[in-house]
Structure 1
């Protein structure tokens, strides 16, 4: 396989979609990785496996309907493998292994059968001190957008997944690109004040549109930079509730086709008004783990 990704919206040819089978059930409170999961564990509303399997298989159906080659991780018994985006990402023709939470390293092994088809000189492993997850990384032509957290208290946040060392390393690895980082708002306790990854508060859509949540960004000038890049009329602004519901975490099959949650009525109407076809699924149960459609997918090839 020859991976190739230069942006978020070109025609998708090949993707790894996570699996929800044998996901280990409800974790202990101390083992939860984000405030939204913690909230649902406490309230007794954590999602059940059968519901999540149904939701993610609906995504697989839509991808195949649009002639996308879909790979699925090998199932590890009792292990959460829904969010394949976290474990790696492609920039240009390079597959970059994410340095993720240590408890999740088995997820990489489950896609070895795909990675083994990629030439070794097209695979990159970052230095150990570089923390990064795919939800924070967005190739955008001559740019690489990267969500990070620059605070000195980085280590105190379970929700801070990409550090400045990783941002600097990406710039060294891709000197022909401009790596533009964004300082994101983090909270271990309040899911409405936590941008777990960049795709939880921002995403490019179509030819030149974007979804954005202003208060996901700690630096207003960085939010303004993005709005100015697209133009205010091209940006769909979401509020704290819509960010919590994961409105910015939909997924593009092409510039003209996206997969969205049927629950996102306002967003889906806006997308349709811009000439974008919206394929809908119900992803309310998977969303309880603070991830949605982009989080579930790891694109390998876009035309």
Structure 2
């Protein structure tokens, strides 16, 4: 049995599900794109090739293995994108929550069922249909659960709006002892530089008391200020619009002092090193073209 345990984003990682780019399928057509960044690359002819994405994920897997992390991979589905496991489910404390994802992506959940079957069934839940929530919008910080959402009245018109107010309410009821704080995110269907697809596209904690943040990803300044007051401005690395577009906040922590980051994130990686982090740099720029990065392609199951 797998005894799930996730309290935050940065404690020592023991068990994780890492997505897969093998047999990823052909380049999608423009009308099949789930987000503006993928669309941009489909139209420009620069959409990532499978071989490049497989190589990037292999590099990530090697780093995880070097830190003695147990890595599960999804079962392969032919011609299917299975990179972003963060969307399909997430763990809070010792509970596995299956996401109600975009209907086209339901098969991704089936591909990790052999792992979920190793968890006590009483610890696995599926929210009711009207509840929309994806793992990229869920960030744990010990007593806090931070949730990205979109409160615009046009929610249903946005394929980039992934977690709704019912999702926030569901988590509040499931974890009454936690402080649940929601953040209203900026969404765009057409400009990837102004689209915070998930909360981890504009904020993520690192270490014990630090974080990476993009101020303009929040629709309400008060939401941004909440994090500044909680973490302290001197502990937050502020990224630019262009760094947000390249997913600088979507790194991944193996431990409180070990961060896996994209090798081109020069400014961020220098800041991390200056703050005594070990930075494991890997190439991940091709996968980033699909508006997802390192955190998006992981589903942590056990941290110390």
Q: How far off is 1:140 after superposition?
A: 1.1
For residues 294 and 227 of structure 1, what CA distance do their matches in structure 2 show?
A: 22
Q: SS state of the match for residue 105, structure 1?
A: helix
Partner of 1:133: 134
Q: What are structure 1's unaligned runs of at least 5 residues? A: none
Partner of 1:209: 210
Q: What are structure 2's unaligned runs of at least 5 residues? A: none
Q: SS state of the match for residue 145, structure 1?
A: strand
Task: Give the ranges of 4+ consecutive aligned residues of structure 1 lying more than 4 Å apart after TM superposition.
Answer: none
Partner of 1:12: 13
Partner of 1:159: 160
1:52-71 CA distance string (max 9 Å, x none): 00000100000000010000
Question: After superposition, where does 1:188-207 map in structure 2 within 5 Å?
Answer: 188-207=189-208
Partner of 2:224: 223
For residues 100 and 196 of structure 2, what CA distance do their matches in structure 1 show?
A: 19
Q: How far off is 1:193 after superposition?
A: 0.3
Q: State the aligned residue count.
A: 303
TM-score, length-normalised on structure 1? 1.00
Question: After superposition, where does 1:59-78 map in structure 2 within 5 Å?
Answer: 59-78=60-79
For residues 50 and 131 of structure 1, what CA distance do their matches in structure 2 show?
A: 33
Q: SS state of the match for residue 179, structure 1?
A: strand
For residues 139 and 194 of structure 2, what CA distance do their matches in structure 1 show?
A: 22
Partner of 2:38: 37
- Is structure 2 residue 280 aligned with structure 1 residue 279? yes
- Is structure 2 residue 87 aligned with structure 1 residue 86? yes
1:177-232 CA distance string (max 9 Å, x none): 11100000000000000000000000000010000000000000000100111001
Partner of 1:103: 104
Q: How far off is 1:139 after superposition?
A: 1.4
Q: How far off is 1:25 after superposition?
A: 2.1
Q: SS state of the match for residue 26, structure 1?
A: coil
Q: How far off is 1:302 after superposition?
A: 0.3
1:47-91 CA distance string (max 9 Å, x none): 000000000010000000001000000010000000000000000
1:85-104 CA distance string (max 9 Å, x none): 00000000000001110000
CA RMSD of aligned residues (A): 0.5
